[in-house]
Structure 1
Amino acid sequence: MSSSLHRPLDTETATMLRIVLRPLLDTARDWQSLSAALALKGYELHFRDGRMLFVESYTGEAISTGAAIGVPLKTLSDRLGRPSLTMSADGRSAVLHT
Structure 2
Amino acid sequence: MPPPLDCETLALLRSFLTPLLEAAGSWGDLVERLAAKGYGVAFRDGHLVVINAETDMPVCTGTMLGVPLRTLAARLGRPCVKSHRDGHSGNLA
Q: Same fold (TM over 0.5)?
A: yes
Count of matched residue pairs: 93
Residue number among 18, 24, 27 corresponding to 2:23 in the alignment: 27
Amino-acid identity (%): 44
Q: Does 1:18 align with 2:14?
A: yes
For 1:9, what is the secondary structure of its paired residue?
coil
Structure 1: gaps (5+ residues): none
What does the per-residue CA deviation read over 1:33-71, in whole Å, with 9 as the maximum and x for residues that have no partner?
000000011111000111110110111110101000000
Q: Which amino acid aligns with 1:60?
A: D
Structure 2: gaps (5+ residues): none
For 2:63, what is the secondary structure of its paired residue?
helix
RMSD between aligned residues: 0.7
* Partner Cα distance (2:21, 2:47) in 1: 15
In the superposition, the TM-score normalised over structure 1's length comes to: 0.92
Query: Would you identify which runs of 4 or more consecutive aligned residues in structure 1 move more than 3 Å?
Result: none
Q: Which amino acid aligns with 2:17?
A: L
* Partner Cα distance (1:53, 1:30) in 2: 17
Q: Does 1:46 align with 2:42?
A: yes
For 2:54, what is the secondary structure of its paired residue?
coil
Aligned to 2:85: 89
